[in-house]
Amino acid sequence: MIRKTLAVSALLLAVALPVAAEATLEEVLATNIESRGGMEALKAIETLRIEGRMAMGPGMEAPVTFEARRPNSMRMEFVFQGMTGVQAYDGETGWQIMPFGGSTEPEKMNEQELDNIIDQADIDGPLVDWEEKGHKVELLGTEEVDGTEAHKLKVTHKNGRETTMYLDTEYCLEFKSKSTVNTQGMEVEVEVTYGDYKEVAGVMMAHSISQAAQGAPGGMSITFEKIEANVDLADDRFAMPVTEGADEEKPAEKDGE
């Protein structure tokens, strides 16, 4: 349970104060930031590199690397059956390489794919500076979730997507979320569980994430084995590669042709 995980952190015990179940949204968000390490520590992280393993079922495991850089760039790579998949966003363009279906060239994401991945480029998460980012956050009360008393938040993202977040009432750290994503033209409710919080560069970060789609068998889990903050990340890590012939200009048409 999340309280047992958090109890081992001296940092968390030093800064976090319990919040009453009838707390206001402002109190919940303030405690969330303090429990994570404080605004100064959060903002001091300019880049992240995360290495781990993604399990998708019995015998199906893939190494995964996630990189992010302020203000809003991200790149994720995963290797499966000797092939490397890439999903990336440079703040303007979302692109991917998915060789599993036979395509080895970078392709731009469609609008739905971009909406599903763009929030991952936000190092701080949607609750930090949410008004400046154009989000809307509402406190819907408290309820018991998986045996833990939780504050229930509704986050309406700038792009209109809605996420329900559950924060434990003691430290106001997120341990579960639910959202609806559009996959191949179908809306699917996805549930994500966060756990194994550990300190990285003064900030508490989840080191395990599991994800399951409603009505679908199995699910996916990621265990983070190494998280590094403020590593050097070059611009071309996020920019879409230019393929041969992509930047060639077409001959201008002559009048009358």
Locus of tokens 């750290």: 173
Residue 157 · residue 181 · CB < 8 Å: no
Structure confidence by residue, pLDDT tens digits, 103-158: 889 999 988 888 878 889 999 999 999 999 999 999 999 999 999 999 999 999 99
pLDDT at position 21: 52
What pTM was estimated for this model as a whole? 0.83
CA angle 190, 223, 230 (to 5 degrees): 105
- In the chain, the amino acid numbered 97 is I
Structure confidence by residue, pLDDT tens digits, 32-85: 999 999 999 999 999 999 999 999 877 788 999 999 999 999 999 999 888 999
- In the chain, the amino acid numbered 62 is A
* Domain 2-237 belongs in CATH node 2.60.120.1440: no
pLDDT at position 184: 66
